Amino acid sequence: MIPNQWYAIAESKEIKSGKVTPLRRIGEDLVLWRDDMGKLSCMLDLCPHRGAALSRGKLVDGCIECPFHGFRYDAEGQGTFIPANGVNAEVPKVFRVQTYTVREEHGFVWLWYGEKRENYPPLPFYDDLNDSFVYGSVAVHWKSHYTRSIENQLDVSHLPFIHKNTIGRGNRTLVNGPYVTLENDTISVWVDNRTDDGTPPTKPTKMPMPARPPLLIFKFPNIWQNRLGDDFRIVAAFAPIDDENSMVYVRTYQRVKRATRLRWWMAQLTSQFNRVVLREDQRVVETQRPKIAGLDIGERFIPGDRPIALFLIHRRALIQAAEKGISLSAGQEVVAAADAQIDWSVAEDGEIHPNLPYDLLRRSRQTPISNN
Q: What is the pLDDT of residues 160-187, one digit of tens each?
A: 898 888 777 788 889 998 988 888 889 9
Q: Domain ranges in the chain?
A: 5-113, 124-372
The highest-level CATH class for domain 5-113 is: mainly beta
**Residues 15/107, Cβ–Cβ less than 8 Å:** no
Distance (Å, whole) CA 104 – CA 11: 9
Residue 353 pLDDT greater than 50, yes or no: no
**Residues 47/104, Cβ–Cβ less than 8 Å:** no
Helix (H) or strand (E) holding 188: strand 186-194
The tens digit of pLDDT for each residue in 71-107 reads 999 999 999 999 999 999 999 999 999 999 999 999 9
pLDDT at 54: 97
- At 264, the pLDDT band (50, 70, 90 cuts) reads low
Q: Quick check: helix, strand or coil at residue 73? A: strand
- 124-372 belongs to which homologous superfamily? Naphthalene 1,2-dioxygenase Alpha Subunit; Chain A, domain 1 (3.90.380.10)
pLDDT at 259: 58
- DSSP per residue over 261-277, as a string? HHHHHHHHHHHHHHHHH
pLDDT at 257: 62
Distance (Å, whole) CA 311 – CA 302: 15
Distance (Å, whole) CA 121 – CA 102: 13
pLDDT at 155: 94
pLDDT at 261: 66
pLDDT at 358: 29
pLDDT at 355: 31
DSSP 31: E
Q: Which residues pair with 10 in a beta bridge?
A: 109
pLDDT at 260: 65
Residue 281 pLDDT greater than 60, yes or no: yes
Q: What is the pTM of this model?
A: 0.86
Residue 372 pLDDT greater than 50, yes or no: no
- DSSP per residue over 231-258, as a string? TEEEEEEEEEEETTEEEEEEEEEE---S
